[in-house]
Amino acid sequence: MNNVICCQVQTNRGCRQSKLASVFLQKSHAVAVIMTTVTTAEQIIRFFGMKPLPYEGGYYTETYRCDEKIAQAALPTRYSSEKNFSTAILYLLTPDTFSAFHRLRSDEIFHFYLGDSVTMLQLHPDGSSEVTTLGQDIMKGQRVQVTVPKNSWQGCFLNEGGRFALMGCTVAPCFELEDFELAQRKELLKQYPGQRDLILKLTR
């Protein structure tokens, strides 16, 4: 978040201030305010005006989209168009939702804000896998920030008994649907047989 604020304020070196950036700061402050008062996922959804996230699942609202762009010619060849420098969203998981396995062409950073713990599985191009718990209990190994490298499959779910998990996701260069690929269960099971149970849980 510090990088985003710097990007907004230092207009001579970074992004110009935008309405979305202002909304991001307002909503980030709101996260801190509601931490001691929120009791339900429904309250969070209404408060932030969140909508169901297509294809992947969960709820989201975009809070930041840099108004400066990188020309396609200056980007790696995996990108098919020009890109905003970065985007950020608030992302909510509930007991009846999960983040279905997908991959992006850009790195994505998850930030855990409040709620109950989340299990994330990453499946990397070299055949390795990684299970991580996002949450506030850092002394027990939970993490408040997790990076998903580009082209790695990712999926996550709210752990049993949890009511909700509110997180942030930052993507650079920006998220666009054209850079999103939803996984096929059959193919993942073939490539990563050791993670069968979680693959079944995180695919439709």
Encode the chain (204 residues) as per-residue pLDDT tens digits: 444 334 333 444 444 444 555 555 566 555 555 555 667 999 999 999 999 999 999 999 999 999 999 999 999 999 999 999 999 999 999 999 999 999 999 999 999 999 999 999 999 999 999 999 999 999 999 999 999 999 999 999 999 999 999 999 999 999 999 999 999 999 999 999 999 999 999 999
| Nearest one of 167, 134, 180, 171 to 149, comparing CA atoms | 171
Adjacent-strand bridge partners of 147 = 109
For strands 69-70 and 83-84, give the pairing: antiparallel
* Rg, the chain, Cα only: 17
Please write down the HEC assignment for all residues of 24-38.
Answer: HHHHHHHHHHHCCCC
Q: How is domain 2-201 classified at the CATH fold level?
A: Jelly Rolls (2.60.120)
State how far the Cα of 156 lies from the Cα of 146, in Å rounded to an integer: 12
- Which stretch of DSSP H or E encloses residue 169? strand 165-172
Q: Tell me which amino acid residue 192 is.
A: Y
Give phi and psi for 152, each to the nearest 5: -95, 135
Show the tokens assigned to 110.
């998850």
80, two tokens: 């098919």
Helix (H) or strand (E) holding 57, with range, is: none
pLDDT per residue over 151-164, tens digit each? 999 999 999 999 99
Answer whether 166's CB lies under 8 Å from 180's CB: no
- d(Cα 168, Cα 152) in Å, to the nearest integer? 19
Q: Residue 143 is encoded by which pair of tokens?
A: 């993490």
Give residue-wise pLDDT tens across range 72-96: 999 999 999 999 999 999 999 999 9
What gap in Å lies between CA 143 and CA 136, rounded to an integer? 7
Q: Determine the Cα–Cα distance for residues 203 and 182; give it in Å rounded to an integer.
A: 9
79: exposed, middle or buried (C-beta count within 10 Å: 0-12, 13-18, 19+)?
middle
Task: Show the DSSP H helices in 61-195 as ranges.
Answer: 185-191
Contact 92, 58 (CB under 8 A): yes
